Amino acid sequence: MGMHLNREVTVKVMLQVFIVLALSRISTSDEPPANFVFGDSLVDVGNNNYIASLSKANFMPFGIDFGSPTGRFTNGRTIIDIIGQELDFGLTPPYLAPTTVGSVVLKGVNYASGAGGILNATGKVLGDRINFDAQIDNFANNRQDIISSIGIPEALNLFNRAIFSVTIGSNDFINNYLTPTVSMDDQKFASPELFVVTLMSKLREQLTRLFNLGARKIVVTNVGPIGCIPSQRDTNPSAGDYCVSLPNQLAQLYNNQLKSLIAELSSNLKGSMFVYADVYHILEDMLNNYIVYGFENPSSSCCYMAGRFGGLIPCGPTSTVCWDRSKYVFWDPYHPTDAANVIIAKRLLDGDQNDIFPMNIRQLFQS
Residue numbers in the chain where pLDDT is lower than 70: 1-30, 180-189
| Helices H / strands E in the chain, number of each | 11, 9
Beta pairing partners, 304: 320
State the Cα–Cα distance between residues 312 and 241, nearest whole angstrom. Answer: 16
CATH class of 35-366: alpha beta
Q: Write down the domain spans for the chain.
A: 35-366
Digit-coded pLDDT (tens) for 64-73: 999 999 999 9
Tens of pLDDT along 138-147? 999 999 999 9
Nearest CA among 63, 56, 45, 168 for reference residue 110: 45
> Quick one: pLDDT at residue 14?
45
Give the pLDDT score at 119. 96
Question: In 3-state terms, the chain is what percent helix, strand and coil (to 5)?
Answer: 50, 10, 40
Q: Are 169 and 118 in contact (CB under 8 A)?
A: yes
Residue 23: CA count within 13 A, CB half-sphere: 6
Question: The pTM is what?
Answer: 0.91
Angle between helices 192-212 and 132-150 (to 10 degrees): 10
| Cα 37 from Cα 97, distance rounded (Å) | 15
- Active-site residues, by number, are 41, 332, 335
Closest CA to 123 of 39, 53, 195, 225: 53
Cβ atoms of residues 356 and 94 within 8 Å: no
- d(Cα 350, Cα 258) in Å, to the nearest integer? 22
Q: What is the pLDDT of residue 190?
A: 85
Q: Which of 117, 143, 118 is nearest to 36 (CA)?
A: 143
User: Taking phi first (over 0 means left), then psi (-120 to 50 degrees means alpha), and beta for anything else, what does residue 358 get?
Assistant: alpha
Q: Is there a contact between 331 and 343 (Cβ–Cβ < 8 Å)?
A: no
- Map 251-288 to HEC letters: HHHHHHHHHHHHHHHHHHCCCCEEEEECHHHHHHHHHH
DSSP string, 127-163: B----HHHHHHHHHHHHHHHHHHH-HHHHHHHHHH-E
